[in-house]
Amino acid sequence: MSSSSTAHGRGDRAVKPPIRDALVAAAFRLFLERGYEQTTVDDIVALAGVGRRSFFRYFPSKEDVVFPDHERCLADMTDFLSASGDGDDPVRTVCDAARLVVRMYAENPAFSVQRYRLTKQVPGLRAYELSVVWRYERALAGYLRTRFAGLRDGTLRADVVAAAVVAAHNNALRSWLRSDATGDAEAAVDHALRHVQAAFGDVPVPPAGEDPEDVVVVVSRRGAPLWRVVQELEAALGRD
Amino acid sequence: MSSSSTAHGRGDRAVKPPIRDALVAAAFRLFLERGYEQTTVDDIVALAGVGRRSFFRYFPSKEDVVFPDHERCLADMTDFLSASGDGDDPVRTVCDAARLVVRMYAENPAFSVQRYRLTKQVPGLRAYELSVVWRYERALAGYLRTRFAGLRDGTLRADVVAAAVVAAHNNALRSWLRSDATGDAEAAVDHALRHVQAAFGDVPVPPAGEDPEDVVVVVSRRGAPLWRVVQELEAALGRD
Cβ <8 Å between A156 and B192: yes
**Residue B172 buriedness (CB in 10 A; 0-12 / 13-18 / 19+):** buried
pLDDT at B182: 96
Looking at residue B36, what DSSP letter applies? S
User: Around Cβ A208, how many Cβ atoms within 10 Å?
Assistant: 5
- B contact test, residue of A222, A229, A234 with most B CBs within 10 A: A222
The answer to whether the CB atoms of A202 and B226 lie below 8 A apart is yes
Nearest Cα residue to A157 out of A145, A143, A142 = A145
User: Which residue has better confidence, A31 or A202?
Assistant: A31
For A204, the closest chain B residue by CA position comes to B223
Evaluate if residue B10 carries a pLDDT over 90: no
* Identity of the amino acid at B40: T
Quick one: pLDDT band at residue A86, thresholds 50, 70, 90?
confident
Lowest mean pLDDT among A175-184, A206-215, B51-60, B187-196: A206-215
pLDDT bin (cut points 50, 70, 90) of residue A200 is confident
Give the pLDDT confidence of A41-82 residue by residue, as tens digits: 999 999 999 999 999 999 999 999 999 999 999 999 999 999
Asked if the Cβ–Cβ distance from B222 to A213 is below 8 Å, we say yes
CATH 1.10.10.60, chain B: domain bounds: 3-64
Subunit contact A234:B217, Cβ cutoff 8 A: no
pLDDT in tens, B128-177: 899 999 999 999 999 999 999 989 999 999 999 999 999 999 999 999 99
CATH 1.10.357.10 spans which residues of chain B? 67-200
In a 3-state reduction of DSSP, which class is residue A216?
A: strand
Note whether A168 and A193 are within 8 A (CB): yes
Whole-number pLDDT of residue A12: 42
**Alpha-carbon span B234 to B239, nearest angstrom:** 5
Dihedral-angle region of residue A32 (phi above 0 means left; psi in -120 to 50 means alpha; beta otherwise): alpha
- pLDDT greater than 50 at residue B106: yes
Residue B138 DSSP code = H
- Once rounded to an integer, what is the mean pLDDT over residues B61-73? 92
Residue B226 has pLDDT above 60, yes or no: yes
Report the CATH superfamily, name and number, of domain A3-64: Homeodomain-like (1.10.10.60)
Strands A215-221 and B215-221: antiparallel
| Distance from chain centroid for Cα B115 | 14
Query: Which overall architecture, per CATH, does domain A67-200 show?
Result: Orthogonal Bundle (1.10)
